[in-house]
Amino acid sequence: MELPLSEFLVRRDNSTEIFKTEEFISSSSVHSYFTRDKKEDDYQEEFEVINSILDFYSDLYANARKENEEVGYYRVYIKSKALPVSYEAVYSMLKNNQADKEPPLRLITKIAIKELDTITNTVNHLRHILQRKRELVSIGKVQQIDMHCLRWLTRQPGTSIAQKAGTKQKIMAIVREEKCNTLENQVLKTFLKYCVINCDSYIHSYKKKFPNSDRVKAVIKLKLLAISILETPEFQTITTLHSIPKPNYVLQNNANYRTIWNLYKQLVNHTKLIESVWSKRQTFFKEFISMIMLTVIDKKYSTLKRMNYCFWISEFPNKEGCILTGSNWYYLSYNKNLGETIVSRQTNSILSFSSSSLRFGSKIYYIPLNKTVFKNDEYLTKYDIVYLENPKTIYDNFGKALVINSKALKGEEFTQVVFNKIKELI
């Protein structure tokens, strides 16, 4: 379904139908991206945009939890499944991330820094099992037979074992074969494949900006180790898992395998989180942009008094794709020179900011079309923000609107790009 951009911007009520189509909602592509083996040119910016925002929210929630635990409020707030985060904390994190000399600490970097020895020890002491099976064996090498083998023997012609063995002198017997295709090794192999996938994403996002970073080097080392292990003949015989299984005794009690099991679950759950957000990514994106805009406005007019001093952040997004709780945010401040100033986020993603000396409204649009016909639109103002998802054409004329195109990120982290652009906008 294709809709001209001008119609999309003007007829917001009708255009929302596109967000209900199977083509937009389907998460099969994102699942394939985060689970299959990828080449370097398979990198998809759209998926990494969601990943980048989720990582930012995760850091924000972790900091909020730490701060509230220090003051003893965490147990009170956790009952509502949300924690307060001040405007200053959001702005500070964005600013600090920009000034950091090291890329952010993610799950994959923790694995690369702390768990290389665990991975190496687990592979060096890979668990094997002796599997019993029946096959024809030379008479002199028979070690064990069972009732099935005896029944086979009685059906063969001849009166002695030598006669029943025939010209090849082989009879049915039990043999033991050592194999490593166990559940714990299947978890290990799948975990290593997830490591390679997450390493690729991390390297693509931060290697250019932090070429000499120890974290990037550690992630590269983890990727090379995982690839070398997966290419061994022994691991070629192990099956890859496609869902989280019920853990067996080894995964629960062996120290190395238990660590691998816990890390595997975290990597899989993060991938599932991205898949769940994908179908509601337009709401997820608009909420993130709204939060950044309110934070920047608050910083610029820091002398004003506010009615609300914080956002409320959940650990995971809800069914609507929102992490910040509440359907509306209100920001109320008063100053003698500026008068009354109100900022609100509504369901149609319109931010209004008005005072006696400053007055503007900002509309946030998410364009999911791969190919859109564009013509000059008078409704696009300076403070409007348009996000183009995976565009096949480059648009030259968006009036005064701020256009964000994931293809133009050029290896920079999405959250930092948006933060810088909005600071210039306000």
Yes or no: say if 287 and 324 are a contact pair by the CB < 8 Å rule: yes
- The confidence score (pLDDT) of residue 52 equals 84
- How many CA atoms, within 13 angstroms, populate the side-chain half-sphere of residue 194? 27
Lowest model confidence (mean pLDDT) among 12-21, 222-231, 297-306: 12-21
Cross-strand partners of 137: 171
Residue 349 Rama label (left phi>0; alpha psi -120 to 50; beta): left
Cross-strand partners of 217: none
Inform me whether the pLDDT recorded for 189 exceeds 90.
Answer: yes
Inform me whether the pLDDT recorded for 329 exceeds 70.
Answer: no
Higher pLDDT pick, 279 / 307: 279
Inform me whether the pLDDT recorded for 407 exceeds 60.
Answer: yes
Beta-carbon contacts of residue 298 (< 8 Å; ≥ 6 apart): 87, 88, 91, 306, 331
pLDDT confidence band for 395 (50 / 70 / 90): low
Q: What's the average model confidence in pLDDT over 364-383?
A: 63
Of residues 135, 251, 273, the one with CA closest to residue 187: 251
Which range among 70-84, 233-247, 380-394 has the greatest average pLDDT? Answer: 233-247
pLDDT confidence band for 14 (50 / 70 / 90): very low
- The confidence score (pLDDT) of residue 336 equals 46
Lowest model confidence (mean pLDDT) among 26-35, 90-99, 141-150, 230-239: 26-35
- The confidence score (pLDDT) of residue 260 equals 95
Q: What's the average model confidence in pLDDT over 301-317?
A: 70
Yes or no: say if 303 and 334 are a contact pair by the CB < 8 Å rule: no
The per-residue pLDDT of the chain, averaged, comes to 77
Higher pLDDT pick, 305 / 27: 27
Contacts 24+ apart (CB under 8 A), 141-145: 141/173, 142/171, 142/173, 143/173, 143/174, 143/175, 144/173, 144/174, 145/171, 145/172, 145/173, 145/174
Residue 231: burial class (beta carbons within 10 Å; 0-12, 13-18, 19+): exposed
Please give the distance of CA 220 from its chain centroid, rounded to a whole number. Answer: 19
| H-helix segments, 231-319 | 233-236, 249-253, 255-278, 281-300
The reported pTM is 0.75
Q: What's the average model confidence in pLDDT over 396-409?
A: 71
- The confidence score (pLDDT) of residue 37 equals 61
* Strand 310-313 to 83-86 pairing: antiparallel
Higher pLDDT pick, 73 / 122: 122
pLDDT confidence band for 101 (50 / 70 / 90): confident
- The confidence score (pLDDT) of residue 131 equals 74
pLDDT confidence band for 338 (50 / 70 / 90): very low
Yes or no: say if 305 and 334 are a contact pair by the CB < 8 Å rule: yes
- The confidence score (pLDDT) of residue 334 equals 46
| Residue in the block written with tokens 């009615």 | 307
pLDDT confidence band for 74 (50 / 70 / 90): low
pLDDT confidence band for 3 (50 / 70 / 90): very low
Beta-carbon contacts of residue 117 (< 8 Å; ≥ 6 apart): none
Beta-carbon contacts of residue 60 (< 8 Å; ≥ 6 apart): 85, 89, 90, 93, 313
Q: What's the average model confidence in pLDDT over 130-146?
A: 83
Q: What's the average model confidence in pLDDT over 308-323?
A: 81
Higher pLDDT pick, 69 / 65: 65
| Residue in the block written with tokens 């702005």 | 91
